[in-house]
Structure 1
Amino acid sequence: MTGKLLAILLLGSAVLAGGAMYYLQVYGFYYGVVSKPGQDVRLLAIGADEPETIAYTDFQAIDADSSPIRYRACFETDLTPADLAGYQTANDPEPLTAPGWFECYDAIEIANALQTGQAQAFIGAKNIHFGVDRIVAVTQDGKGYVWHALNNCGEKAYDGTVVGEECPQQPETGQ
C-alpha cells in the first residue's frame, strides 16, 4: 500500500509541476504593454542614431520581464512601402513566435510575408536592451508587427564568445 501511495504522490507531483511550467511559459510571465501614443512604433532612418515615430493605429503589445526577446506587438499604418524607403532595413529578420492567445501576431505568416516580399522588416531601435534590437515589419496592406531579436553583440554575449570592441559596454548585473 505504501508503494502505491508513493507512486500516486510522485505522479500527482509530476502532473502539477508540468502544468505549472506550461502555465508559466505560455501565460504567467507575459503582461500587456500599456500604449504610449506616439512612442510605440519607431523606425531608425538611414544614417540616424535615434529612431523616429511613424504613424500607426490599433497598437497592442505583450512583454515579459523574464527575457529581453519576449516583446511582441501588432499595429496598423497608412504608410506605403515608398513612404518607408528612408528607413534602415533589417538583415535576415526572423520573427519569433508568440503565445497562441496573442492572436494578432502569427510568426509563420509574418515570415512568409517577408519571404514573398509582401512585407519588409526594418530596424526599430538598436540595443533596446544590451545585444537586442527591435525589429518592425510592415506588410503592403499596412499591418505591422514588432519583435525583439538578438543582434551580433547579443549572440556573442549569450553564447560566451568574446564580445569585441564594436559592441557597447555590457551593463553591470549587480551580483
Structure 2
Amino acid sequence: MTPLLPVAATLALVSGAVASAPTEVALTAIETGQPEPILTDAWQAGEGSLGCFHTPLSLALLTETFAVYDAAEPRPVPQAPPCFDAAQIGADLASATAIAFLGARNIAPGVDRVVAVYPDGRAYVWQQPNDLAGKN
C-alpha cells in the first residue's frame, strides 16, 4: 500500500475559522459516515488548506464508497498553488467532468473539507463554509 503524503502544515482562514491541515486526504464513507484515508501521490500544496494531488482510485470506486458533495464551490485564494484553478475546477464540477466528495464535515466550526476528483486521478482539496452545503 502506498503511504499517504502530507499536505501543508497550516490552514488559511475561512469565514473566520482556522483548522489544522490534513496529514492525509480522507473522504467520508457512505456506510459509516466517517472520514477514511485514500491513497494519494504527486502532491502540490500551497499555503493553507489548498492542494493538488493524484489518486490511483477510480471514480467508480470512489462514488460507490464515499459521500458526494453536491454544493462544492472552490474559490480563488491568493496563496493557492499554481495547479489549483478554482474557476476551472468549479466549471468542471458543474459539467460533471469532475466529482466532489465530502472529505470531512466541520473540520473547524462551520467549515467542511472538500475533495474534487477527475477520471484521470487528478484531485484537489480545499475547505469551504458548510452553510453553502445546506443539508448535504
1:119 corresponding residue in structure 2 = 98
Structure 1 segments, 4+ long, off by >4 Å, are none
Q: Gaps (5+ residues) in structure 1?
A: 1-31, 65-70, 156-175
| TM-score (norm. length: structure 1) | 0.59
Aligned pair 1:108/2:87, yes or no?
yes
Rg: which structure is higher? Answer: 1
Q: Gaps (5+ residues) in structure 2?
A: 1-6, 10-21
Residue 117 of structure 1: SS of its match in structure 2?
Answer: coil
* Deviation per residue, 1:16-49 (Å, 9 max, x gap): xxxxxxxxxxxxxxxx814xxx942110001424
CA shift at 1:101, angstroms?
Answer: 6.4
Residue 88 of structure 1: SS of its match in structure 2?
Answer: coil
| TM-score (norm. length: structure 2) | 0.75
CA shift at 1:100, angstroms?
Answer: 6.9
> Which shifted more, 107-116 or 122-131?
107-116
Aligned pairs, how many? 117
| In 1, Cα distance between equivalents of 2:80 and 2:126 | 16
2:56 corresponding residue in structure 1 = 78
1:150 corresponding residue in structure 2 = 129
Greater helix proportion: 1
CA RMSD of aligned residues (A): 2.8
Residue 144 of structure 1: SS of its match in structure 2?
Answer: strand
| In 2, Cα distance between equivalents of 1:39 and 1:33 | 8
The one-letter code sitting in structure 2 at the alignment partner of 1:75 is: F
Larger RCO: 1 or 2 (CA < 8 Å, sep 6+): 2
2:41 corresponding residue in structure 1 = 57
2:8 corresponding residue in structure 1 = 33
CA shift at 1:50, angstroms?
Answer: 2.4
The one-letter code sitting in structure 2 at the alignment partner of 1:76 is: H
* Deviation per residue, 1:108-145 (Å, 9 max, x gap): 11011111211000000011001100000001111100
**Percentage identity across paired residues of the two chains:** 38
